[in-house]
Structure 1
Amino acid sequence: MTPELGPLLRHWRKRLDYRRIPGIDSTRRRLKDGLTQDEVASLTGVASSWYRQLEGGSPRPVSEQFVQRLAMTLRLEEAERVVLYQLALGHTPPPSDAHLGQQADVHLQAVLDSLLPHPAYVSNLWWDIIAHNQPQEDWFPWLPYERNLMRFAFLYPEARDQLVNWREDWAIPFLAQIRFAIAMHPDTPELLRLRDEILEGNDEARDLWATHQAQAHPDGDERRFCLPFHGGKEIRVRITALVPMSKQDQRLVVLLRL
């Protein structure tokens, strides 16, 4: 970790528009623009005192998972993300699209775009979102910074606010789906890596994993969101999941608002 990191973190934090950051109270009076240190700490899942020391230049042990969350929270461009990794960890990150592995073809993208105004996306076997339409990004503005649905749900603190009834309706079914996918595809390294990242980074997920539940990907389930796009108002959706005949390892998911 180098001394240049602290000033850069302060600069990136202060330039943010707090009104566009999920999980931030935009109604309270502010003396300055940008996010506070306490808000960045909360969004990245660390103690406020620890983050203040990091910005102040005190050497702090950081994990790659934390640096990834920090890059998303601060809405860093690719070059800035490289700088953050280099200063914090001493090495550059993998390219932001390196984990995609697969790409949805132009025909699937056309299907997604035809589903407006409903949010829709295509994900691969290990839940990387490899294509999406504009409503999906409007609802979930973290998409350009974190392409994996499961990593967002378990490793980003704001997911608990946005995914209503997080433990019962989201965490338990998601972990059961991951277990099922690994059972069906035991030699897929991306699935094993995803499981390990989640269990290492989320204590509650580790406890839930020990219950050994398994289920296939659902279709027709009703879930609830509380998103900035809807002014923080709770909404219900029906999740419709389809599998392209020519790409059985991908899934097309549509969110139908009820």
Structure 2
Amino acid sequence: MNKDALKKFLKERRDGIAPESLGLTRPAARQGRRSLGLAQDQVDELLNRARNTYQKLEAGRYKNPPVDLLRDIACLYQLNEQEWTALCRYARGEDPPTPLYDTTGYAVPAAWEDAVTRVVAPAYVTDASWTVLAHNQPFEDLFIREPPANTMRWMLVSGREQLIDWEGAWAPLVMPQLKAALAQRPQDQVLRGIETDVCADPASRALYEKGGASIHPDGHERPIRHAVEGDGWVTMCAAQPMASPGARFMILIFRPDTQPPMDRPPLLKAP
């Protein structure tokens, strides 16, 4: 816990909320001054918590506060995802287990479209459903047909003809991603539809039910058939727009070569 940062962060957010906007009376402050915002006991009242619960948290005397309390406070204060992450780090010393809002991950800042078009290698941005939001021309050139509208569906259902050794090099790594995403976002109808199509094929269903632990492709190297350059290997570099947990930014480094990639250091580290 970072007591000083937590106190400053919470007080600033609390002071920014007018009690009248929530149907409460603005409390009188000390020395006859009006309070800047909500009183601490009003936060307890709004969250249906025991008296002094919030005061204890803001003062830094609540060790390991439960995530549900922090989430209720974050929603009351209308924090964004980055502020939600900061709150959990200040109060618990860790990142939040899930995004704050169910809608997070389905939209990214428009600047990402400009960023993608300036990448030389195939690059694209998807939302939390793997629906493509932006891509560049090298990404289009990769595909035999039209570029996919959804990369998860393409990898598991419609794009197998381009994915060399689909059953061994692709499906066992991609299917756990789908399963993990649905565990976190069970109401996502796009992902549910992909799961339905995967399970409709007996061979795919067996691989899907087998499971696995891979949940992201960052650094993976897999064999693929490029529409223009032929067979080769693609190295996947994955990142996440910080304002949109669940969305992803992908750069694909393609090498036209029938041989497996050369060994390389697994991690880059500062000296």
TM-score, normalised relative to structure 2 = 0.51
Structure-2 residue corresponding to 1:194: 194
Q: CA deviation at 1:229?
A: 1.1
The answer as to whether partners of 2:144 and 2:226 remain within 8 angstroms in 1 is no
Does structure 1 retain, via aligned residues, the 8 Å contact 2:141–2:227?
Answer: no
The CA distance in 2 between the partners of 1:179 and 1:240, in whole Å, is 21
Q: Which amino acid aligns with 2:132?
A: I
Asked if 1:239 corresponds to 2:236, the answer is yes
Structure 1 segments, 4+ long, off by >4 Å, are: 101-104
Structure with larger Rg = 2
Instruction: Please tell me whether the aligned partners of residues 127 and 247 of structure 2 are also in contact (alpha carbons under 8 angstroms).
Output: yes
Aligned-residue Cα RMSD (Å) equals: 2.0
Out of 143, 149, 152, the residue aligned to residue 150 of structure 1 is 152
Aligned residue number for residue 111 of structure 1: 115
Alignment: residue pair count: 151
Cross-structure match for 1:24:
none
> Partners of 2:198 and 2:228 in 1: how far apart?
27
Percent identity (aligned): 29
Contact 2:222 2:234 in 1 (8 A): yes
What is the aligned partner in structure 2 of residue 176 from structure 1?
A: 176
Q: Is the alpha carbon distance of 1:169 and 1:139 closer, same or farther for their aligned partners in structure 2, counting shifts above 3 Å?
A: same
The superposition leaves residues 202-231 of structure 1 with CA deviations (integer Å, 9 ceiling, x where unpaired) of: 22111111213243112001112112211x
Q: Which runs of 5+ in 1 are unaligned?
A: 1-100
CA contact 2:144–2:227 (8 Å) conserved in 1:
no
Determine helix, strand or coil for the equivalent of 1:210: helix
One-letter code aligned to 2:161? D
Secondary structure (helix, strand or coil) at the match of 2:210 reads coil
Q: CA deviation at 1:180?
A: 0.9
Pairing 1:138–2:135 present: no
Correspondence 1:207 to 2:206: yes
The answer to whether the Cα contact below 8 Å between 2:156 and 2:174 also exists between their aligned partners in 1 is no
Give me the whole-angstrom Cα distance separating, in 2, the residues matched to 1:228 and 1:142.
8
Per the TM alignment, residue 141 of structure 1 is displaced from its structure 2 partner at its CA by 4.9
Q: Report matched runs for 1:217-236 at 5 Å.
A: 217-230=216-229, 233-236=230-233
1:103 deviation in Å?
5.2
Q: Report the CA distance shift for 1:190/1:161 in structure 2 as closer, same or farther (over 3 A).
A: closer
Compute the TM-score of the two structures, normalised by the length of structure 1.
Answer: 0.54
Distance 2:210 2:232 in 1: 30
Structure-2 change in CA distance of 1:197 and 1:161 (3 Å): closer
Equivalent position SS for 1:215: coil
| Corresponding letter in the other structure for 2:165 | N
Does residue 252 (structure 1) correspond to residue 255 (structure 2)? The answer is no
- With over 3 angstroms needed to count, the CA separation of the structure-2 counterparts of 1:141 and 1:129, relative to structure 1, is farther
Establish whether residue 126 from structure 1 lines up as the match of residue 123 from structure 2.
Answer: no
